[in-house]
Every structure is written in C-alpha cells, then in structure tokens.
Structure 1
Amino acid sequence: MPTSVSTSAPSKRRFYLRWPFAVAVAAVIGYGVAVAMHWDDRGMLWVKERFETSAERSESVWLPNYRVDIDAKVLPGMEDDEASDVAYSPHTRTLFAVMGKNPFLVELSLQGDVLRKIPLAGWSNPEGVAVLEDGGIAITDERQHDLTVVKVDAQTVSLNHADFPSYDLGESVKSNKGFEGIAWDPMRQRLVIGEERPPKLYTWNSDGRSPLKGQKQVLASDDLDLRNLSALAVDPRTGHLLVLSADSNMLLELDEQARQVSFMTLLGGFNGLQSTIPRAEGVTMDDQGNLYMVSEPNLFYRFKKKQQ
C-alpha cells in the first residue's frame, strides 16, 4: 500500500517565509505613502501642538480649535464653474470668490448667499483673489501668468481684463501648475503669492493703493511641506499665513518666519465636518477670526473658533 506524504509542513514553511516578506513590503509601502502625504511631518507638528501653552495658542490662529458651522452649502447655479478662491472685504463686509472654468467674480454674504455675479472678460483661468487696502481686488490668472488689480463698486456689472493694470508674474516651474494663491498682508503691506506645485511663496511689497512697482521676491520657507498649494490667506490680527492644500486635505498655519504653528485636516469627521471637503480651492479669514472656504465644484464652508 503506497505511503501518503503530508504536504502541510512544507506549506506552513512557505507561508511563514512569505509572511515576513509581505509585512516588510507593506511597511515600505506604508512608509512611502506617509512620506508622500507628509503624515510624518503632520505627526511631528501634532505632537508639538500638545506642548504649546495657552498664551502661545492665543497669539496664533490655532486651527485645531475651529469647528465648521456652515458645512458644504451649495452655491446655486455654479455646478460647472469650479470655485477657485475666496477673499474677505472689510470695506463691504462681504466675500468675493472667483470661478475658474467659466471666469466670473461672485460676491457672497458671510453666510454664503449669492449677492451678485460679475463676468470676467479676458481672463483665461482666474485662480486667486485678494482684497487690497483701498478695496481694489487683485486677481491672478494661472494660464496667463499675470496679476490684475480691478475696481469693483455697487454699480459694477462686468469687468474687462484690458481695462485694468496687469503685472507679469513670470513663468512657473510647471505651466499648468502655476500661480494659484494670493493674499493681502495688511500688517506688512505686501501681497503674498503662492505657486501651486512645487509649493513656493513670493511677496510683492505694496501700500495696497498705488500701482505695483518692482517685482515679486521669493519668501523662503522650509516648512511648506504640502503636496500642492491651492490658496493663501493672512490673519489680519496676527499676521500669520494660512496655506491651503487640496491634495493634502490640509490647512496649515505659518508664523512670521514661515514656520509651522498649527494645522487643520479637511477630512470628514474632523473639525465638525460631516464629509471630506471634495477639493478645497479657496480660503480667507475675516477681522473677527472666522474662516471661510470654497471647494470645487460649488461648495461653501464657514468655520468658527470654539471658546477655550
């Protein structure tokens, strides 16, 4: 009678030989993903945040304390327009947002209600918007690599690119990943301009009233470790810079030396968000410290700081 040979032992050995290899592969892949997503940096910053004193937190924006109070409000009739950025105007106490796919400027209330739409003739792909010292509105065009300062009043019904002064921003490293964000810094009297990928910051000194002179200057930052830069905002109270990244699902706070201070994830379940913000493209802050965001295709968010 033939003797049967058991195959269970060799199979077990092969399993145990494969198991360490599979774990090693998973660990390498996990580490690569963590580095690519900058989870390692966020983890270090999260630990650092735990040691910040109450005084240090009060001197910053301190994003962990923000909670959404208007969550994914739909901007009606703008499903195909792609919200690109938003800026707060202290002159009108309203918001101005730019739409990139079908270029126009839209004025919003602080509750995200549409007040009016202003067509932008001559713009190709407006991506950034900022309200200057005198109420002028700076608009960056990613495709045309320029910055245009327009005037808007209660009677404005349309804007033509050729009617206003424009300033060449120069070529970006990647033509379709160009100058994406812009913010007015009233404390330092300058514009801050952001390049999308790789993320990079520039400044352009101005009094916010006169025509721009000179050229943009590089603002060095070793802490700008985000997958892309979608938008910029400046807190008028602290002067700290807020950097939005759609690809990283992150809002990052930088201090006056462009060092990381705090961050806020835009994933569902955090900071009161029911769902992940689909693609956050614009951010601004008012003089009361309230945060506003817009996301593609046509969503509006407002965040308020909870009482400590």
Structure 2
Amino acid sequence: MATQPISSLKPARRSRFALRWYSWLLLLVAAAYGLAFAMHWDDRGVLWVLERFESPAERQGSVWLPDYHAVIDAKPLPGMEKDEASDVTYDAQTKTLFSVMGKNPFLVELSLQGDVLRKMPLVGWSNPEGVTALGNGMLAIVDERDHQISLVKVDAGTRELNFADFPKFDLGPSKDQNKAFEAVVWDARNQQMLLGEERPPALFTWKGDGTTLSGDKQKLASDELDIRNLSALAIDPRTGHTLVLSADSHLLLELDEKGEQVSFMTLLGGFNGLKKTIPRAEGVTMDEAGTMYIVSEPNLFYRFEKQK
C-alpha cells in the first residue's frame, strides 16, 4: 500500500503526526543534553577553546596531553582476564611498572612494554584499587573496601606480600563508602601523598617522608574536577603537574600546580592513536621521560608517547 503524503492527511491526523514527531525530537534533544552534561562535554569544549590560546612556551612547560599518541594499544596482560587491573605506577629505581589487580588481589611487575615479569599475591587485602611507588623499594597500596592505605617493601626476591606485615593507615569514612578512596600518587616534590576519592571526585593530601605518614589527611578545595568519577592519579616528575583519570568520563585531565586545568585527552576510539575506546581506564602513570602508561579493566595495557 502506498504511503500517503503528509499534506494529504486530514488536519487532525496531521496534528497528531506532528505532535508525535515533536515529542520524539524533544526526547532526543533531552537525551543528548543529558549525555553531554554527564560527560562534561560543555566543560571539555571550553577547555578545548582555551587550549588554542596557549602559547608554545606554555605548552612546552606542561604535559600537553593533545600531543600524546598510543604506541601500544590495548595489549592484553596474559592470564589476567578475570583479575581487573586497578592501577599502575612507575618505579624509577627498577625502571619497571607495578600494577594492582582488584578482584583477585595481587601485585604484578611489568616491563615498560607491558610484559609480565612476576606476579605477587596480596594476602589479606580485600580490594586493592590504588598503588604508587615511593622510592627505595617502597610502595603504597590503597584498599578501597577496607578504607586503608598500607606501605609495603618490595625487592627483587619478593614473591608474596602479607597485609599483616606492613604499617597501615586508616583513610576514614567517605560520603559513599562503596565509592571511596581509589586513587593515590606520591608527590616527591612536596613530600606528601595525593589521594583521590572516586565519587564525588575529591582530592586530599597527606604528609609523609616516603616510609610513613604523619598528621591527618587534608582535603583540597577544587572546582576543576568536572568528571563523573576519579579513577587514578599520576604526577609528571618533570613539571609537577597532576594527571587525573576518569573511567566513566573516558577522560584524562592535566592540572597544574595550582590545581587548574591545562589540557585534556579523550580516551575514545579514533583519538590520540586509539583504535577503540579504552573500555574502563583504571590506572595511569608517567616516567621521567614523559612516557605515559594506562591500564584498563579487565587486563589491557596502553603506552602513550608524545609526538614531536
């Protein structure tokens, strides 16, 4: 049966037809706005415009994430498909990476190419979600479920770590105990730990000397964390700038030493050398040469280098 043109419909039917399409259009607009709001695309648009006005000198003095390109894209970590990679840190002493697995707790040492060097069970940890290298073989591990941070010692002979053997510090209550402290990075310049609360995103500092923590953690006032969640933190050893990773927003932010946004990188397929969207980016770190590493659930490894 031939379809009647709209102009041939009776006025009442034309009105219902137009109303139905108008309603669908409103729903589509509302959905698009909701998605843009949730992903903070409006904020990213503003930052993208501001990036255009940064001088070459200002770009040179920052990480400048738009220039980074994936040189290792979604490399699987063998045998870890069900372990959920939760964070990664670079150890300047060993020139290797350490990553924690949250679902089946263990620590894995990786080469800078994402090859597995050894796996060390984390006995007694419930849900390790954050890890950072402190130097001299010391690592800090955040257990999100138990709301504790432990300082552990790892050397070439370490094959297993037992929670009861190491000093630990209570991170205290969070607004959402199920979405509590997940991110951690050692700020060597300022001799303090930088901690990130997953949701609502928030930053805290805790003074220390690389072997222990002193006093109480302090919340940082910041209105620059316009992301859906905070998954991980890293500090660029060259500039002192902070990288803030959000799995839900598929986004990596660069903050300067004042906590202000400098640049960003989307983790969607088709950008920055990524063939596909990083499914759930949970860890980020950077070495002294400026090379960046990201791990994603369940067991994917990424390496990014700055394009000259």
Q: Is TM more than 0.5 here?
A: yes
Distance 1:7 1:198 in 2: 53
CA displacement at 1:20 relative to structure 2:
4.3
**In structure 1, what is the equivalent of residue 84 of structure 2?**
82
How many angstroms does 1:10 deviate by?
3.5
Per the alignment, residue 270 of structure 2 pairs with 269
Question: Residue type matched to 2:80 in 1?
Answer: M
Question: Quick check: 2:70–2:305 contact (8 Å CA) kept in 1?
Answer: yes
Aligned to 2:3: none
> 1:62-111, CA deviations, whole angstroms, 9 ceiling, x for partnerless residues?
00000000011111111111100000000100000000011010000000
Provide the residue aligned with 1:260 in structure 2.
261
Task: Decide which of 25, 30, 33 is 2:32's aligned counterpart.
Answer: 30
| Aligned residue type for 1:226 | I
1:295 aligns with 2:306: no
Alpha-carbon distance in structure 2 between the residues aligned to 1:23 and 1:152: 58
SS in 2 for 1:176: helix
SS at match of 1:86: strand
Separation (CA, whole Å) in 2 of partners of 1:100 and 1:7? 61
Shift of 1:19: 4.2
Task: Quote the Cα distance in structure 2 between the aligned partners of 1:222 and 1:299.
Answer: 31
Map 1:105-254 to 2 at 5 A: 105-208=107-210, 210-254=211-255
SS in 2 for 1:67: strand
SS in 1 for 2:25: helix
1:39 corresponds to: 41
1:3 corresponds in structure 2 to none
Residue 133 of structure 1, CA deviation: 3.5
Q: Using the alignment, how far apart are the partners of 1:249 and 1:204 within structure 2?
A: 28
Contact kept, 8 Å, 2:137 with 2:155, in 1: the verdict is no
**Aligned-residue offset at 1:188:** 1.6
The answer to whether the Cα contact below 8 Å between 1:87 and 1:129 also exists between their aligned partners in 2 is yes
Q: Distance in 2 between matches of 1:278 and 1:30?
A: 21
Deviates further, 131-140 or 24-33: 24-33
Q: Taking structure 1 as reference, are residues 108 and 13 closer, same or farther at Cα in structure 2, changes over 3 Å only?
A: same
User: Deviation per CA, 1:106-125, whole angstroms, max 9, x where unpaired?
Assistant: 00000001000111101000
User: Per-residue CA shift, 1:162-198, capped at 9, x if unaligned?
Assistant: 1000000001111111110000112222110000011
How many pairs are equivalent? Answer: 301
Shift of 1:274: 0.6
- Cα distance per residue 1:100-153 (max 9 Å; x no partner): 011010000000010001111010000000001333100000011000000000
Separation (CA, whole Å) in 1 of partners of 2:301 and 2:144: 22
What's the C-alpha RMSD, in Å, of the aligned pairs? 1.3
SS of 2:58's equivalent in the other structure is: helix
Aligned residue for 2:5?
Answer: none
Letter in 1 for 2:82: D
Alignment-mate amino acid for residue 163 of structure 2: H
- TM-score, reference length from structure 1: 0.94
Shift of 1:28: 2.9
On the 8 A contact 1:133/1:186 being kept in 2, the answer is: no
